[in-house]
Structure 1
Amino acid sequence: MINLQNTEVQYLLLFTILLILPKLLLRFQIPIGISSIFLGIGAGLGLGWFQGDDLLLMLSRLGITSLFLFAGFEVEFEELKQNWKELLGGVAQTMSITLVVAFVIHLFFSIGFRAATLIALGIMTPSTGFILNSLKNYGFSEGQEYWIRSKAISKEISAILLLFITLQSESLVNLGSSTLILVALSIFLPLSYKLFFKYIAPYAKDSEVGFLILTALICGVITKKIGTYYLVGAFLVGFIASEFKHFGKSEKSEEILKNLQMFFSFFIPFYFFKAGVGFTEDLFTLEGLYIGLAFLGIFIPLRIFNTYSNMKFFMQDFWPDRKEITVSLLPTLIFGLVMAQIAKERFQVPLEIISGLVIYTLVSSVIPAFIFKKVPPENY
């Protein structure tokens, strides 16, 4: 008889179910991240498995760092510079609204402004990696994909900057020392890439992806240790790498990008599963449900209005594509979960607010899957 309390059996079931079932559920319009979270809730609350599990923690770190490495790698300066006025206008408008939302949350819930800013970022920031990975599921035109990608990336860059300032603004000493560490990483990373190209790449064929993933994991841990989060360091690694000819501007760049996408697609379900395992019973309250529904009723229309008005003033040529672009930018799955975790652990935000943010995050992230028609899968 199989002993379900055996750790090896639990790991075998974890890998078997998590790597197959979420993909099967895609046919019912359920994103992999959402199904993985609920599988984690079932394993954690239902079975009591994987609580404080170190292997699951490492797998989840690989998932989140590789995802934000991919998001940073997708940044193309030439594209951003080409339409900087339109993108800057959208970013400035979104960041202004985010700060206003933070102030309202600060007053309404009587929590600190820094904590309120995290909640506002979780509400307003599109999750670029999740969105980019989902675009292939819909039959969008190149122009629509371009603006979805550009707006998501530009908003995430500004949100990461605001996140860094928020987390380190407790004192000028913290802000100054953390900024110096990021500057040091920004100087060290190009040097490490050059050394890699000179001494490793010529003798280790196809080692680029492994090197980037290892570097993103190390930098993610460093930025986590200084009080920000994994995503800051991992995004920085991809952001800087995208400007190197060998990584982002050569014939191998498409292959590297494809391999990165395959890697994070394999590991990111473990991040969502880990998030689900971390859910506790006290997160599931009626008050949390009411707050989540209020967030959805207020902020989904606000975000739609924000993008519509931005396109009306700055992107009139793409006004006919407003629905595709706007709805595609609604998912906040990664940023929402990350902000909820930080707000809970570092700022002791009341659980009903965390619960409301999680509900908002889950629902907002499935909206595109139910509105847009999926492209039929390729025949095998």
Structure 2
Amino acid sequence: MKQELLYLILIFALLVVPRVLQRWKLPAPLTCLLFGLLAMLAWGDRVHDPVVILLSTLGISSLFLFAGLEVDPRELRRGAGPLVVHLLVRCATLAGAAWLAWRYLDLGWQAATLLALALLTPSTGFILDTLERLGLAEDERFWVTSKAIAGELLALAALFVVLQAGDPLMMGVNTGVLVAMLVGLPLLFVALGRWVVPHAPGSEFSLLVMVGMVAAYVTYSMGVYYLVGAFIAGLVARLLRIRMPRLASDDNIHALRLFASFFVPFYFFHAGTGIPREALSWEAVLLGVALTMVVLPLRIGVVWLQRRVLFREARAGTLKVSVALAPTLVFTLVLAGILYQRFDLPPVIYGALLLYTAINTLLPSLVLKAPFDVDPADEALARGGEAPLAAHAAAPHGERPPAA
């Protein structure tokens, strides 16, 4: 069969079939992951195609570029009090989970910390893509968005430190590179806006994606994976919104959503092809079920208690926010891969992590209104192109915004 025809069949399988299966509340990313796993079992190493790898890189980078664009510092400041408490609790739970992994799983402190991040970090870009379809009220969406973004900022900072901590010299060098990125990216965006955009109207989206991919590659070269650089590029573009309004405009954010919706399925497919056969064992299944029965209720319970104590919120609304923050799919897949490749994570734990993240990704689609999806087009249309936190601009500092 010709290579071009194989690519067309793969595109159809990843972009059409998962949508059909969503009518039975099976999230599309899990279907793509399953397709990758089945392809690996059928064809082995032959599924590691360079074209699929490139499309996968575009998918994960664009997803985190979008997540960075969704950060609104002004809105985070409006909920600063509860968010600080949330982050303190998150730090305590991460420290506790890392200590348990170090103590009982015989992992080094770096691997133990990465395992804790894989278990406890919500996948912000993934959650934001699907927020409108979960049947949440305005105030509930505000807190899901704010807590997911705050948690991801903490996780990305911890990821950078942990991955660099093994070599203090390289950590110093790469920290300097990261600082240079933070200084250089705004200058690059401004330079492109001054010397390129006036002569190429409508090129803002292409330039945004290009800079995001370059930033993603820089951090990948530093050993901290693509997602850090892509997120930073999106965040910088968002911070320049006043000076360069078209760069992070609502139209560009919507376009980036559509761009990511095409490439993200290839990331999940590629992640499925990278699952080692040794991870597919009954021991991994039992460990994954045990991990889910312990960690998932604790995660939901901790957020539930925060909402009840801070806001005296109704139980139903509190539960919705807690469940909406449950999915960890992207972070778990990325960190499980890093742990397996760089820290020799036992395949049994790798398989257990996969089952854990599959279950917590399924949970919102079973409990809340609709299944998770990687196509965000309907959400942008539903909210009229507004930024996700814009409706809460009048919310007092540290208080719950009023429902619409």
Structure 2 length-normalised TM:
0.88
Alpha-carbon separation, structure 1, partners of 2:80 and 2:341: 36
Matched, 1:183 2:184: no
Offset of residue 222 of structure 1? 1.0
Q: Deviations over 1:74-96 (max 9, x none)?
A: 00000001111111110110121
Compare 213-222 and 248-257 and name the one that shifted more: 248-257
Matched, 1:18 2:14: yes
Matched, 1:112 2:108: yes
Alpha-carbon separation, structure 1, partners of 2:174 and 2:57: 21
Tell me which of 152, 155, 160 is aligned to 1:159.
Answer: 155
Alpha-carbon separation, structure 1, partners of 2:314 and 2:174: 40
| Aligned position for 2:42 | 46
Alpha-carbon separation, structure 1, partners of 2:265 and 2:191: 33
Matched, 1:65 2:61: yes
Alpha-carbon separation, structure 1, partners of 2:98 and 2:315: 29
> How do residues 299-318 of structure 1 correspond to structure 2 at under 5 angstroms?
299-317=295-313
| Aligned position for 1:141 | 137
Alpha-carbon separation, structure 2, partners of 1:318 and 1:132: 23
Tell me which of 92, 98, 103 is aligned to 2:94.
Answer: 98
User: Letter of the aligned partner of 1:295 in structure 2?
Assistant: L
Offset of residue 251 of structure 1? 10
Q: Deviations over 1:331-359 (max 9, x none)?
A: 00000000100000110111111111111
Alpha-carbon separation, structure 2, partners of 1:206 and 1:116: 46
Q: Deviations over 1:145-200 (max 9, x none)?
A: 11110110000100111111110111321221111111000011000110111111
Matched, 1:368 2:364: yes
User: Letter of the aligned partner of 1:270 in structure 2?
Assistant: F
Contact 2:39–2:47 under 8 Å retained in 1 = no
User: Letter of the aligned partner of 2:355 in structure 1?
Assistant: I
Contact 2:68–2:238 under 8 Å retained in 1 = yes
Contact 1:246–1:253 under 8 Å retained in 2 = no
Contact 1:102–1:120 under 8 Å retained in 2 = yes
Alpha-carbon separation, structure 2, partners of 1:350 and 1:251: 44
Matched, 1:203 2:199: yes
Q: CA 1:198–1:100 in 2, change beyond 3 Å: closer, same or farther? A: same
| Aligned position for 1:240 | 236
Q: Deviations over 1:79-124 (max 9, x none)?
A: 0011111111101101211111011011111111110111110100
Alpha-carbon separation, structure 1, partners of 2:120 and 2:251: 32
| Aligned position for 1:277 | 273
| Aligned position for 2:255 | 259
Compare 334-343 and 302-311 and name the one that shifted more: 302-311
Q: CA 1:49–1:279 in 2, change beyond 3 Å: closer, same or farther? A: same
Q: Deviations over 1:48-89 (max 9, x none)?
A: 475331111110000000000000100000000111111111
Q: CA RMSD in A?
A: 1.9
Alpha-carbon separation, structure 1, partners of 2:292 and 2:239: 38
Contact 2:97–2:116 under 8 Å retained in 1 = yes
Matched, 1:230 2:226: yes
Offset of residue 321 of structure 1? 1.5
Unaligned segments of structure 1, at least 5 residues: none
| Aligned position for 1:340 | 336
User: Letter of the aligned partner of 2:366 in structure 1?
Assistant: F
Compare 159-168 and 273-282 and name the one that shifted more: 273-282
Tell me which of 209, 212, 216 is aligned to 1:216.
Answer: 212
Offset of residue 204 of structure 1? 1.6
Structure 1 length-normalised TM:
0.94
Q: CA 1:180–1:168 in 2, change beyond 3 Å: closer, same or farther? A: same
Contact 2:65–2:231 under 8 Å retained in 1 = yes
Alpha-carbon separation, structure 1, partners of 2:341 and 2:7: 27
Q: CA 1:107–1:323 in 2, change beyond 3 Å: closer, same or farther? A: same
Alpha-carbon separation, structure 2, partners of 1:48 and 1:217: 29
Matched, 1:192 2:188: yes
Q: CA 1:252–1:117 in 2, change beyond 3 Å: closer, same or farther? A: closer
Between the two proteins, the alignment pairs up a number of residues equal to: 373
Contact 1:144–1:324 under 8 Å retained in 2 = yes
User: Letter of the aligned partner of 1:287 in structure 2?
Assistant: E
Unaligned segments of structure 2, at least 5 residues: 372-377, 380-404
Q: CA 1:248–1:192 in 2, change beyond 3 Å: closer, same or farther? A: closer
Tell me which of 166, 169, 187 is aligned to 2:165.
Answer: 169
Tell me which of 64, 76, 80 is aligned to 1:84.
Answer: 80
